[in-house]
Amino acid sequence: MNSLLTILSASFTFRCDGPMFNRAMLAGAIVSAALTLHAAPLNAEVRVGTVDMNKVLQESPSAKAKIDALDKKAKIAKAKIMKQKQELGALQEKLGEDASGTSPEAEKFRKSARELQRYVRDTDEELKTELLAVRKTLTDIALKKVSDVAKSKNLDIVLEKSEVARGPVLFAEGVTDITGSVLASMSH
């Protein structure tokens, strides 16, 4: 604000004691000078980049490794669940009509069925939690890499350009797509 007043005082001479002094004129001059000063950066060229975050989050080596590890864990859990379901099915067949009865075998069957349901629910919840944590970690890393690449390419702004879902970029000419650079930097 001091620089604005300095510019105004250097450019204009106001007499506060004469009949020509008008507060509205002073306010208009200040607003006009402020708009002129703040409009200058708008004339500068803005360097825009785009990045396909879906591609970065799915194709980077670290993302692939973490997703593969989760897939492996899910397959192991699924195999264990299938084995337990088969064992329960065999026990149910063996019990036949007595599966809902009060025999020790029927009680064992119901207990095993409840344990399997609990295991399925807990495993599903655990895998979802891990997936969310992995996605958050990967997104944080990717955003840092986007920032680093944008700074190295002297970009002022980077917009999401997704091939899967329509992002904010509908058309862009003369912009820099940094997806490949971000993917390459995620390899390190």
pLDDT band for position 106 (cuts 50, 70, 90): confident
Is the confidence at residue 113, as pLDDT, over 70?
Answer: yes
> H/E element holding 35?
helix 23-39
Per-residue pLDDT at 41:
55
Question: Which residue from 28, 3, 25, 2 is spatially nearest to 14, judged by alpha carbons?
Answer: 25
Residue 126: count other Cβ atoms within 10 Å of its Cβ. 12
Residues 143-164 pLDDT 10s = 999 999 999 999 999 988 877 6
Please determine, for residue 7, whether its predicted confidence score (pLDDT) is greater than 70.
Answer: no
Three-class SS of residue 12? coil
Q: What is the assigned CATH class of domain 48-186?
A: alpha beta
Domain ranges for the chain, please list them. Answer: 2-43, 48-186
Decide which of 15 and 134 is more confident.
Answer: 134
Mean pLDDT of the chain: 77
pLDDT at 44 over 70: no
142 and 186 Cβ atoms separated by less than 8 Å: yes
Cβ–Cβ under 8 Å, residues 56 and 187: no
C-alpha span between 161 and 53 (Å, rounded): 7
Whole-angstrom distance, CA of residue 139 vs CA of residue 150: 16
Higher pLDDT, 175 or 100: 175
* Residue carrying structure tokens 């992002």: 167
Ramachandran angles phi, psi of 90, nearest 5°: -65, -40
Confidence band for 14, pLDDT divided at 50, 70 and 90: very low
Query: pLDDT digit string (tens) for 19-39?
Result: 444 444 434 444 444 444 444
